[in-house]
Amino acid sequence: MRITAIGAANIDVIAKSKSPIVNGENNLSDISLSAGGAALNIAAMLAVNGAKVDLISAVGNDMLGKLLRDSCAGLGINVDTFISKGNTNTCIQINALNNDGEHCISFGGIPSAESIRTGDIARHKDIIRETDLLILDLNLTEKILSAAIEYREGRPIMVDAVDVDKVSRVESILSDISILKLNRVQAERLTGITLEAKERVRYACQSIVERGVDRVFITLGMAGVCAADKKGAIVVPSIPVVTKDLSGAGVAFAAGIALNFKSDLRQQAEQGAWLASKHLGRNVQSRNKNPRPNPYHSEQNEDFLI
């Protein structure tokens, strides 16, 4: 299977304070640097799970751009499709965490995907057309989204909504999308429906399908995922895991549904949930006979998702 992703690639810098943060002072921190960005993260997860992957993204012609290329190539991702922007610095995202690991603030440049132009992806139109599945993240401009869809000529397309403030970019292309992945907040923005009860999530899923999407997946954290196609909506519970860090679960879920895009709806959702749980850690039931209950299965919370 060959999958092509188009979207953001950047350098993630994470600073975690060693003690309670004091504003205005230098806070001693553990600092890590890694490759990031929605499309890159999904591409990396796909590659380590056996898929052949092309990544079309923009990087600066600088040291950090070379770092991203080398990092992706080391995972087996095709980086011949990278777009070098000589007049643009490689995008950096800085995340500050307190000593408990809680997110405090982020700083980021303009996503690299914003600098991609139609001429850039035209050079890769054959790859875009012939790949088994094309994945687009909504860091791309509406013009680039439309151009990629045109090159695709009706073949399967998956879109990751990425950011609640960018979810409106999908409005005009819903009928061209085979698979749409959203989280709860993004789904609320797209549909205008408050998703506090499971039946409202089902309704939201089905309303998106009615607008033209073949399949939609709304991730709900511990409450699992709601998925829908033209046959109806289902809810698949999450798999409880022992973890101190939930980061990367959404990326792993996206990779899981991409790898299983030819499966039926339930199997696709279950495989996404399974890969997310595999990424997060060992199943709690292997070590704890009384794990924290999943809210979806809690009798007291039968009508509510959180």
Prediction pTM value? 0.86
Q: Is the pLDDT of residue 213 over 50?
A: yes
| pLDDT value, residue 245 | 53
Q: Summarize the confidence of residues 85-113 as an average pLDDT.
A: 84
DSSP state of 89: P
Q: Is there a contact between 16 and 101 (Cβ–Cβ < 8 Å)?
A: yes
Closest CA to 127 of 56, 60, 64, 49: 56
- Where exactly are the structural domains of the chain? 169-306
- Give the orientation angle of helix 265-280 with respect to helix 249-259, to 10 degrees: 140
Per-residue pLDDT of 233-282, as tens digits, reads: 999 988 776 555 556 788 999 999 999 999 999 999 999 999 988 877 64
| pLDDT value, residue 13 | 92
C-alpha distances out from residue 61 to 85, 192, 199, Å: 6, 41, 49
Domain 169-306 carries which CATH code?
3.40.1190.20
| pLDDT value, residue 249 | 83
pLDDT bin (cut points 50, 70, 90) of residue 108 is confident
| pLDDT value, residue 302 | 31
Per DSSP (E only), the strands in the chain are 2-6, 10-17, 29-36, 52-56, 58-60, 83-85, 92-97, 103-108, 133-137, 157-160, 179-183, 215-219, 225-229, 232-236
For residue 291, count other CB atoms closer than 10 A to its CB: 14
Q: Is there a contact between 55 and 72 (Cβ–Cβ < 8 Å)?
A: yes
User: What is the length of the chain?
Assistant: 306
Q: Is the pLDDT of residue 231 over 50?
A: yes
pLDDT bin (cut points 50, 70, 90) of residue 292 is very low
